[in-house]
């Protein structure tokens, strides 16, 4: 049973602070280290447009009608696009910040403010498909593992999970991108689904170009980087010895080097069944 009272308590506990002109979560239960503001929403939209909606073999079930959870949905573009494609399915998007797109909300979409790092307020075995994207910097290692365990709990038998994450592992990096990679490297534990007991695990790596050399995808991801790297500045300067001036100078150099170096970065897509 969904615990509405507990859900309200989670909402009231989420607070924010402003640092370097960016709106950041300020809560011991929230590990999300990127901003939650309008500039971050722009970056999330570009990231959404870069990727296909899903990889799992779920089309027939989605067409017939199932229950789907989008964890860390942000504004909810994935949820809304999927709901339009599959009107017989019900979609619930959750995020720790209320940045949801609610204008003309379809009847098969519900958004809830909820922190996945502290648990999922849903019944056992209540979803057929759970989707999660770009939360490796939104949860601590312990929270990430417990979140995957929670996803398994709320999935029905034979239900499917799909996770897409950025790995700050630059290929052929320019000097500036190499430095940024050392500062902001995040580790995604590829064994986390196996440890949680998922089966039929499939792991796909994507190398995405950064800059004009990569054509339209490269230009799009460079645009994402122009929003992402300034957003990460707060995290880097708070958690490393890099100064604001040093970081800004390096990022500026990286954007210039994107025109002269064939740099790419890696994403990992993992999908499996319960």
Instruction: For the chain, list the domains and their CATH numbers.
Output: 4-166+187-207+267-273 (3.40.50.150)
Secondary structure (DSSP) of 193-225: HHHTT-EEEEEEEEEEEESGGGHHHHHHHHHHH
Strands (E), 34-175: 67-71, 90-95, 109-113, 127-133, 155-171
The string of pLDDT tens digits covering residues 52-77 is 678 888 999 999 999 999 999 988 98
186 pLDDT band (50/70/90 cuts)? very low
Percent of the chain with pLDDT over 90: 40
How many C-beta neighbours within 10 Å does residue 106 have? Answer: 12
Helix, strand, coil content of the chain in percent (nearest 5): 40, 25, 35
The string of pLDDT tens digits covering residues 235-268 is 678 767 889 999 999 999 999 999 999 999 877 7
37 pLDDT band (50/70/90 cuts)? low
The string of pLDDT tens digits covering residues 124-177 is 999 999 999 877 666 766 788 888 999 999 999 999 999 987 766 788 889 998
pLDDT of residue 76: 92
31 pLDDT band (50/70/90 cuts)? very low
């Amino acid at each position: 049973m969904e615990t509405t009272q507990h859900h309200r308590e989670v909402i009231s506990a989420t607070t924010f602070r402003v640092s370097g002109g960016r709106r950041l979560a300020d809560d011991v239960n929230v590990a999300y280290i990127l901003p939650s503001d309008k500039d971050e929403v722009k970056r999330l939209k570009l990231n959404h447009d870069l990727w296909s909606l899903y990889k799992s073999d779920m089309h027939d079930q989605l067409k017939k009608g199932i229950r789907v959870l989008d964890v860390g949905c942000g504004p909810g573009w994935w949820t809304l696009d999927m709901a339009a494609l599959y009107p017989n399915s019900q979609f619930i998007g959750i995020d720790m910040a209320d940045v949801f797109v609610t204008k003309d909300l379809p009847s098969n979409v519900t958004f809830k403010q909820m922190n996945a790092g502290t648990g999922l307020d849903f019944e056992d075995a209540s979803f057929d498909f759970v989707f999660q994207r770009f939360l490796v910097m939104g949860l601590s290692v312990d929270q990430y593992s417990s979140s995957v365990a929670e996803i398994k709990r709320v999935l029905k038998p034979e239900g499917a999970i799909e996770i897409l994450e950025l790995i700050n592992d630059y290929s052929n990096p320019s000097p500036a991108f190499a430095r940024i990679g050392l500062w902001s490297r995040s580790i995604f534990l590829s064994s986390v689904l196996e440890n949680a007991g998922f089966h039929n695990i499939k792991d796909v790596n994507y190398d995405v170009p950064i800059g004009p050399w990569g054509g339209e995808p490269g230009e799009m991801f460079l645009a994402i980087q122009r929003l992402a790297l300034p957003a990460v500045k707060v995290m880097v300067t708070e958690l490393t010895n890099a100064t604001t001036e040093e970081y800004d100078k390096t990022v500026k150099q990286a954007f210039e080097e994107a025109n002269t170096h064939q740099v790419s970065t890696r994403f990992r897509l993992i999908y499996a069944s319960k």
